[in-house]
Structure 1
Amino acid sequence: MARSMLDPETRLLYGDSLKAPPGYEFDCGVATTFSMDFETALAISVSIAFLVSKNRDDVLSDHVALLEAVERTAKRLVVYADAGQIHADRGEGSRLTSLLEKTIVEVKSPGDGSFHPKLWAMRFKPLDHDDPIKMRLLILSRNLTRDRSWDAALSLDGTVLSRPSAGNRPLHDLLKQLPSMAVGSMDDARRRMTLAMADELRYVEWDMPPGCDALDLHVNGIGAGGWKPAKSRSIAVMSPFIDEEALEHLAALAPRAAKKLISRPDQLACISKATLGKFEQVLVLDEMAEGDDGEEPLPNEQQGLHAKIFVQEDGRRTTLTLGSGNATRTALLNKRGQSTRNVEVFASLHGQKSKLGSIDDILGDQGFGRMLRAFEPDEVEATAAQEVAAEQRLLDARRTLARGVLSLRCEALQDDTKRWRLWLIPSDGLQLGELGRIRAWPITLGEGHAKDVLDGVRTDSPIDLGSVPLVDLTRFIAMEITDLATGRSEIFSTGLDVEGMPEERDLAILNWVVDSRQKFMAYLRLLLASFIEHPLPPPNKTNGNAKGDWGSGADDEPILEDLMRALCAGDGRLGAVDRLVTRMEACAKDGTDDRLPPHFKELWRVFRTVLETQDAR
């Protein structure tokens, strides 16, 4: 029924929406987002790899599970994000984030606006090879962040057929252009994966959502086409960010019945009374619904309204459109023959009003409307023009710094410390006259290692970011930029092209995670678990020194039965164990303490011989 579409009681967990269907496993995926944070990207890897959704804090504290999740998914996943919109913290970031360096690709909009689409395109392969390939499409208003805001999402599963569907062409065109939008170098394997996904999406037949008899997919900002609402008998708009020009356009589409406008109080305060008066109801999220868990938001964490929804009625028909685009000029309005400035993605669901619901069904008291209240014109003041201008100056500076004008160089120190010097290399002689200060530091080290870099950026002079242990080398640099006129500061992160990154850096991260024989055994049990039959083996918390849910059981716990089951299954688990053992042996050769228990080494020699015999057949 229509109520379930936007019923506040019907919620979808981000991690759950990425799990493979029963009888399938994750093969590859392409995601797009405006903003993101590294912790969410790491946590999402666990949901995809282990078919579970766990408490975020538990996931992030479990380095063994995180490492294996990234190992399983990173090479089969690519995330495109707007350049300059990766969140950063002042504290030390996880070293495991560096394993996502090739997975995260920063891009810019062809129209010089925001790269703003939020979608996932995922491919699942069957466990029974006679079954067809399945695809999943998620179209969201939610970024890849830890926000606790009210968002909307559409999840579609589909089957790959032999004939293309014209309705999928917008998705194909978007994915096909993603690699060309990259602001830095991009891994060839992920470029090929993106283009292959674009081609395969053309052939998908999507399962229709309940109450819907037709589906349209749209992309704005790519070519001269795109989407904006057509004329209708009545319209309702839910958008956290709005502007006068777009609202005037939307209200004119249904002059007899522009029923509802739902937004944030601070945004509505900037709109004229004349424009607001064209809507029968102007509504905001009730304070009681802002954060229903009673907790204060963390830095960079949003709450409140963030869903973007347009509902239109025409006779007995309803069209519900959701996606990434706000009711703003840059998202919806374009000149004839041109694209919108922003890149956006939308899905329009069409159906009979009796099945899909009316505006009042979807956004009234029986639907999302029970979370709303009337907007009071004087309840908040409009944002000061000076603050708006400072925000725009900082946004422009972010984009400038994150769009390919900076790079990094690594140099090994000629001493016994096994440390590396990291240099920030500017180009183009950026003046950035609107900024009073820029500080930069590797995200793995935190603000305590920040360097002032504005003078070097302006003179194209290499900037010494300090000496760094091998395990902390990263292409992700946090930057704090300060507006000269107001003193307002913002922090973000960007991934820079690197010259001289040592190949053994990833091995150093493995060695940091698996820092004892007990941790090795915990990792081994994780590899041997069958995640198809049992999403995660039971947690082991018997050792008080362990961190994370896996614990670090004793190194002499029986493992032979698990090895034998994996050998009989022939599903690649022993191959994963062999790769781990080989890497740990390489760590030991570099002078690190041997983390392989002696009894296991003797046992593994037998299994390695069996594997080599099987490979020789």
Structure 2
Amino acid sequence: MLEPNVRHLLLESLRPPTRFTLDAAVATTFTLDLTAALVPPLAFTAFGLDDVSADPMVALEAIARVAERTAIFCQAGMIEVPHTVPDLVAFLEPMVHQIVPPPGTLFHPKLWVLRYVDEEGAAACRLLVLSRNLTHDNSWDVIVRLDSAAVGSQNHPGNGPLRDLLIDLVSTTVTPLSPARRSMVESLASDIRRVEWQLPPGVDGVTFHYLRGRRPQIDWTARRSAVISPFVNDAGIEELSGPSHDMILISRPDQLEMLSPAILSQLTRTYVLDAAAGNAPQSDQHLTEEDAGIGVETLVPGAVPLRAHLHAKVYVLEPPGRRQRARLLLGSANATSSGLRGNTEFLVEFEGPRRNLGVDALLGAEADGLRQLLAEYTATGGATPTDREDVEHQVDNTLRTVAAIPHRVRVVSGGDAGTGHRVEISSSSPYPDRNDAWQLRVGLLTLPGREQPADFADTPDVVYEAVTTADISPFVTVHIDASHGVSGSTVLVAELEGDPFDRLDHVMARQIDTPEKLMRLIRLLLDFGNPGTVVNQLSAGGEGEESSWAMNQSQTGELELVLQALATNPAAIDSIDRIMVRLSASEAGRQVMPAGFVEFWGAVREARLLLESSA
């Protein structure tokens, strides 16, 4: 249980079961890295890639296939500004939604709710509950994967908390969801109530906890417990502990030092990750579609140094009067007052025998299990935040307040044929007031380094001239320079008004900028479902290939692949046709089409329509 040497990659857990395809996906996260959000679409398709940079063209098609079926919800003000902004980020726009939680709280759950369907329309569901945000952070986290045993006709009351979280999402976004996106989330919420879950080995029952509000919602009573939490405070530990309570706490050194000496005296032992343990060894164990389990996860390939941050949230409770039983809770909530009583959080609880889920099962022996990665830590306690840390906290809160204000990006004139577009950024209400010397800048994510000054206690008046069509974006950056050398930034999602209808066509044309790249993508799509051929295409070169359509079809048999796809895989034809329509909409896109291909594809399109009408 919770073997630290086993890595369950997020991509493996997102991939559809055999003979199933993605039908709907909802993810929640506190912080979001847009470049990390480019990766999950690769798991939903059969291209066999784990990295967007391996082939951006394939990533583009993967995102296009699932964008309308995927929704990612995050805390407003917690979208990170990426170091570099790939063009592919434009295709995430319909997927990303910012949540505004109740005042003084945070939107903090981390999960994926997924529905897959097979060719007959039968549904299968999957739930991933994580402590990990959708970012590239290198940290120690946990993941729980539950697969449906059945999606029946009767509601299961135990799924109510999960259904409630999904329903609440649609009414708490900064900007309203589109009717189609709202319908997708509500449909998934309806189906999830009827799911019967497969349980991991050694588990007798599962309970979901949707935390929202300031009243206690979980019974933490235990005679013995172990808590793993990267962030802690006195109020949180007080809620978890009780009289004659044997409690082990695993956290970060700086957080243990923030506890008061009185609270520390109530703890049996305190641990931190042991940097002297080195790197966690590699494991060749992989998660299969039959698995439903619990594991420590890094979400990144390769060995993970123990100096990486602890980010897992785990609670092991051995109840009084039930000496052979144990409860195991995993999810997003930290052992803080806000984590347990204020923020929006989600945890999954398992109940079963103590030998499987108890404290000793979690820690293991000295030579194996989690204990081998820990070092006992004796904290003095009583530390207080520094002035710089206080300012960092204020900056974060201010960014979240700004991001909760609806913004608009308006394209008011121009065009690429002339001097480009005029683009204006505005907000529906003034930014919060600041009486100090903080400075504020606002800009478009696609125009890094060109942010413009803005004022607190006022609405931004940001205007760009000569913006190319491909650089028009609803992603707005806000940057704050504060005292003590503290700075912070975030990305927010604005409403986009007046953008050219072919904006994404220009983005695609800038990505597929040579005939060789286009032909390589077409071959990949025609071979969709044939992993061996796909791997060969990805490992091949490409820039030196002959771009003539006639030469390509004689050399590699594309004509045969097209005919086969018309008969057995029309979805591949539709995907290519969508790309052709977008490329044809711009002069740059038309330039990358090999000689004779436009005429050939016209005949393919007619054949596809003829076959569809006769079906």
TM-score, length of structure 1 as denominator length: 0.88
Q: Which amino acid aligns with 2:146?
A: L
1:273-312 alignment runs, 5 A limit? 273-288=261-276, 303-312=308-317
Residue 232 to residue 377, structure 1, CA distance change in 2 (3 Å)? closer
Residue 142 to residue 488, structure 1, CA distance change in 2 (3 Å)? same
Give how far 1:517 is off. Answer: 1.4
8 A contact 1:29–1:120 mirrored in 2: yes
- Structure 2: distance between partners of 1:265 and 1:363: 19
Find the residue that maps to 1:152 and give its secondary structure: strand
For 2:537, the equivalent position in structure 1 comes to: 539
8 A contact 1:33–1:82 mirrored in 2: yes
8 A contact 2:454–2:461 mirrored in 1: no
For 1:557, the equivalent position in structure 2 comes to: 552
8 A contact 1:394–1:481 mirrored in 2: yes
Residue 194 to residue 239, structure 1, CA distance change in 2 (3 Å)? same
Residue 439 to residue 572, structure 1, CA distance change in 2 (3 Å)? same
For 2:138, the equivalent position in structure 1 comes to: 148
- Structure 2: distance between partners of 1:216 and 1:161: 19
Corresponding position: 1:72 with 2:65: yes
Residue 51 to residue 373, structure 1, CA distance change in 2 (3 Å)? farther
8 A contact 1:39–1:60 mirrored in 2: no
Q: Which amino acid aligns with 2:529?
A: F
Give how far 1:53 is off. Answer: 4.9
For 1:184, the equivalent position in structure 2 comes to: 175
Give how far 1:542 is off. Answer: 4.8
Q: Provide Cα deviations, 1:403-436, integer angstroms capped at 9, x if missing partner.
A: 1243221122378435212212134333430561
Q: Provide Cα deviations, 1:253-297, integer angstroms capped at 9, x if missing partner.
A: xx33423100001111111122112111100011146865999x9
Q: Which amino acid aligns with 2:256?
A: L
Give how far 1:87 is off. Answer: 0.6
Give how far 1:48 is off. Answer: 1.7
Residue 225 to residue 139, structure 1, CA distance change in 2 (3 Å)? farther
- Structure 1: distance between partners of 2:84 and 2:7: 33
Corresponding position: 1:120 with 2:112: yes
Q: Which amino acid aligns with 2:275?
A: E
Residue 470 to residue 288, structure 1, CA distance change in 2 (3 Å)? farther
- Structure 1: distance between partners of 2:116 and 2:215: 30
TM-align CA RMSD: 2.6
Corresponding position: 1:39 with 2:16: no
8 A contact 1:236–1:312 mirrored in 2: yes
Give how far 1:216 is off. Answer: 0.3
- Structure 2: distance between partners of 1:384 and 1:350: 38
Q: Provide Cα deviations, 1:86-117, integer angstroms capped at 9, x if missing partner.
A: 0103x441121111111100002135411000
For 2:468, the equivalent position in structure 1 comes to: 469
Equivalent residue in structure 1 for 2:603, among 601, 606, 609: 606
Residue 107 to residue 614, structure 1, CA distance change in 2 (3 Å)? same
TM-score, length of structure 2 as denominator length: 0.88
For 1:481, the equivalent position in structure 2 comes to: 480
8 A contact 1:408–1:425 mirrored in 2: yes
Equivalent residue in structure 2 for 1:271, among 225, 242, 259: 259
Residue 566 to residue 40, structure 1, CA distance change in 2 (3 Å)? same
Size of the alignment, in residue pairs? 580
- Structure 1: distance between partners of 2:432 and 2:196: 51
- Structure 2: distance between partners of 1:143 and 1:540: 30
1:319-398 alignment runs, 5 A limit? 319-333=327-341, 341-354=342-355, 356-365=356-365, 366-377=368-379, 382=383, 384-398=385-399
Find the residue that maps to 2:254 and give its secondary structure: helix
8 A contact 1:266–1:383 mirrored in 2: no
Give how far 1:36 is off. Answer: 0.9
Give how far 1:121 is off. Answer: 0.5
- Structure 2: distance between partners of 1:216 and 1:75: 31
Residue 614 to residue 539, structure 1, CA distance change in 2 (3 Å)? closer
Give how far 1:541 is off. Answer: 5.0
Q: Which amino acid aligns with 1:236?
A: A
Aligned residues with identical type, % of pairs: 30
Unaligned ranges ≥5, structure 2: 283-299
1:59-458 alignment runs, 5 A limit? 59-60=52-53, 62-89=55-82, 91-110=83-102, 112-127=104-119, 129=120, 132-158=122-148, 159-221=150-212, 227-252=217-242, 255-288=243-276, 303-314=308-319, 315-333=323-341, 341-354=342-355, 356-365=356-365, 366-377=368-379, 382=383, 384-413=385-414, 416-417=417-418, 419-433=420-434, 436-446=438-448, 448-454=449-455, 458=457
8 A contact 2:328–2:357 mirrored in 1: no
- Structure 2: distance between partners of 1:592 and 1:275: 65
Unaligned ranges ≥5, structure 1: 334-340
Find the residue that maps to 1:151 and give its secondary structure: strand
- Structure 2: distance between partners of 1:288 and 1:530: 46
Equivalent residue in structure 1 for 2:12, among 12, 16, 20: 16
